[in-house]
Amino acid sequence: MFGWEFPPHILGGLGTASYGLTKGMSRQEDLDITFCIPKPWGDEDQSFLKIIGMNSTPVVWRDVQWDYVKQRLPYMDPQLYYNLRDHIYADFNYIGTNDLGCIEFSGRYPENLYEEINNYSIVAGVVARQQDFDIIHSHDWLTYPAGIHAKQVSGKPLVIHVHATDFDRSRGNVNPTVYAIEKNGMDNADHIMCVSELTRQTVINKYYQDPRKVSTVHNAVTPLPQEILDIVPQKKPNEKVVTFLGRLTMQKGPEYFVEAAAMVLQRTNNIRFCMAGNGDMMDKMIRLVAERGISDRFHFPGFMKGKQVYEVLKASDVYVMPSVSEPFGISPLEAMQVSVPTIISKQSGCAEILEKCIKVDYWDIHALADAMYAICNYPALYEYLRDEGKKEVDAIKWEDAGLKVRKIYDEVIKNYNK
């Protein structure tokens, strides 16, 4: 598998989904997963898979000693470094390599992202020559070029996993470079997995893919550890909290949340609104809140991760995801896991599998405001969504998603050599 992020170091839903799926798939006894990421930090859970860091895979031969490798790459078995080095296939002295012959990666989404994507695909050729595997699985557009290169090098089949498309991220104002990378990945894939039927239709209609090679595998949630379940919510007894948690970007519809909040506050004053996350619309949202005169009831705590996410969720009475175009959206499932009533947009992939929540069109701020107000003021509705939502989401398991993926693998491998 080629991925871009992996817990505990994540910047969005891609890392969470990669972890959940691989953990669920690891329950299959005859399945071994090697997961490649640009830059591991050494504290990733490798109890159910093997992680290879592309930043510690040499692409240029360097004569270095065992002790020096251990010193420079303390989280990596030096033997793996030497095994990878034996499979360098290009005789070139890449300008950007360090004294181990490796390319540095930020492990994030830097300004030179296209360069990092290209470098990642170069390193994929070394990994594909050294590793023993049956199938290649690329997560999201960042790793499609790596998957294609690995397929060319190894002759093994490629499946790609579409977690989002640029049509989702850009509200239709598609970046031609990103679109070209996405379409090239889809054209070269032997099968395409999408996180929702919504995304599957985009792949078929906007990227012109054969429907027979495109499947839907919905995301799920990982059971929560005890330390999360034991979090005691910090909240005032007579005050309700409504929360938005996600990137503050066009795709996530933060302005609809603010406008609906302003409507709610015309009817009551005992509700606070929390907009957790950051993004390019942060300043615009702060100004919009000020213009609506609701700054005293609004909070912007910034980016949340790990335990912080659940501290915010547990302190909430309502969770809202008003996304304009959401391929799936794991965060509502996480909110429902900790018994928080949830409102989602009908334009989200998770709306295909969730019933015990309220669904509204993202643009319908009147309906959104009504739903927020109702959950905060009608205890019977609050309790129904709290209890039934948790029951529903606890039945959505990554092991089931993993079994669907395995079935696709088996079918692809069977047909590949025909």
* CATH number of the domain to which 117 belongs: 3.40.50.2000
Question: Is 4 part of any domain?
Answer: no
What pairs with residue 274 in β-bridges?
A: 243, 299
Residues 152 and 300 reside in one and the same domain: no
What pairs with residue 240 in β-bridges?
A: 271
Question: Is 288 part of any domain?
Answer: yes
Residues 65 and 167 reside in one and the same domain: yes
Q: What is the pTM of this model?
A: 0.91
CA 407 to the chain's CA centroid: 22
For residues 201 and 215, what is the distance between their CA atoms, to the nearest angstrom?
10
Question: Is 22 part of any domain?
Answer: yes
Residues 86 and 199 reside in one and the same domain: yes
Question: Is 164 part of any domain?
Answer: yes
What pairs with residue 36 in β-bridges?
A: 2, 52
Domain coverage including residue 141: 13-220+399-416
Q: pLDDT at position 412, please?
A: 98
What the block records as the tokens of 66 is 């065992």
Q: pLDDT at position 43, please?
A: 94
Residues 199 and 287 reside in one and the same domain: no
Q: pLDDT at position 233, please?
A: 86
Helix (H, G, I), strand (E, B) or coil at 358: strand
Residues 240 and 278 reside in one and the same domain: yes
Phi, psi of 329 (to 5 degrees): 100, 90
Contact between 221 and 20 under an 8 Å Cβ cutoff? The reply is: yes
Residues 269 and 216 reside in one and the same domain: no
CA dihedral 259, 263, 264, 268 (to 10 degrees): 140
Residues 34 and 155 reside in one and the same domain: yes
Question: Is 362 part of any domain?
Answer: yes
Question: Is 299 part of any domain?
Answer: yes
Residues 256 and 197 reside in one and the same domain: no
Q: Letter for the amino acid at 1?
A: M
Residues 113 and 231 reside in one and the same domain: no
What's the CA angle centered on 58, arms 56 and 62, to 5 degrees?
A: 120
Q: Which parts of the chain have pLDDT scores under 70? A: 90-95
Q: pLDDT at position 91, please?
A: 58
Residues 174 and 205 reside in one and the same domain: yes
Placement of tokens 């005859």 in the chain: 30
Residues 272 and 213 reside in one and the same domain: no
Question: Is 201 part of any domain?
Answer: yes
Residues 243 and 158 reside in one and the same domain: no
CA 328 to the chain's CA centroid: 9
Question: Is 383 part of any domain?
Answer: yes
Q: pLDDT at position 93, please?
A: 65
For residues 138 and 328, what is the distance between their CA atoms, to the nearest angstrom?
18
For residues 287 and 374, what is the distance between their CA atoms, to the nearest angstrom?
27
For residues 158 and 138, what is the distance between their CA atoms, to the nearest angstrom?
8
Q: How many domains does the chain have?
A: 2
